[in-house]
Amino acid sequence: MASRDHDYTLHIAEMAMERIKALSLPADPPGYELWYTYSAGRNPEMNRRINSALDANGSLSLFELDGIYDEYVASSRTRAELERAGTDVSHEIDKIVGMLGEFILSTSQDRHECADASKRLAETTDYDTVRAVADAIINSLRAVEIRHAAMEQRLNAAKKEMETLQQSLATTTLEATRDTVTGLANRRGFNSAVEQACERAGSESKPFSLLMLDIDHFKSFNDRFGHLMGDSVLSLVGVTLKQSLKGSDFAARYGGEEFAVILPDTALRNATLVAEQIREKIMVREMKKRSTGENLGGITVSIGVASYRPGERPRPIIERADACLYEAKRAGRNCVHCERDEEQLRGNAA
Same domain, 218 and 159: no
Residue with the larger pLDDT of the pair 269 and 346: 269
Provide the domain limits for residue 21. Answer: 2-60
Same domain, 48 and 133: no
**Phi (first) and psi of residue 336, to 5 degrees:** -115, 135
- Using 50, 70 and 90 to split pLDDT, how confident is the model at 22? confident
Domain boundary among 114, 147, 175: 175
Residue 104 lies in a domain: yes
Same domain, 264 and 299: yes
* Runs of H (alpha helix) within the chain: 6-23, 29-40, 44-57, 62-68, 75-123, 127-175, 187-204, 218-225, 227-244, 268-283, 314-330, 342-349
Same domain, 269 and 141: no
Same domain, 124 and 257: no
**CATH number for the domain harbouring residue 194:** 3.30.70.270
Residue 201 lies in a domain: yes
Write out pLDDT tens, residues 84-123.
Answer: 655 555 565 556 656 655 655 565 555 566 666 566 656 6
Mean pLDDT computed over 10-16: 84
- End-to-end, the C-alpha distance of the chain in Å comes to 70
Please state which of the ranges 163-167, 201-205, 308-312 shows the lowest mean pLDDT: 163-167
Q: Output Rg (C-alpha) for the chain, integer angstroms.
A: 31
Q: What is the pLDDT of residue 46?
A: 86
Same domain, 196 and 340: yes
**Number of domains composing the chain:** 3
Residue 251 lies in a domain: yes
Same domain, 318 and 242: yes
Same domain, 203 and 337: yes
Sheet with 336-338: list strands edge to edge. Answer: 250-255, 258-264, 208-215, 301-307, 336-338
Which residues are catalytically annotated?
A: 257
Mean pLDDT computed over 147-160: 67
In the predicted model, what is the mean pLDDT of the chain?
Answer: 77
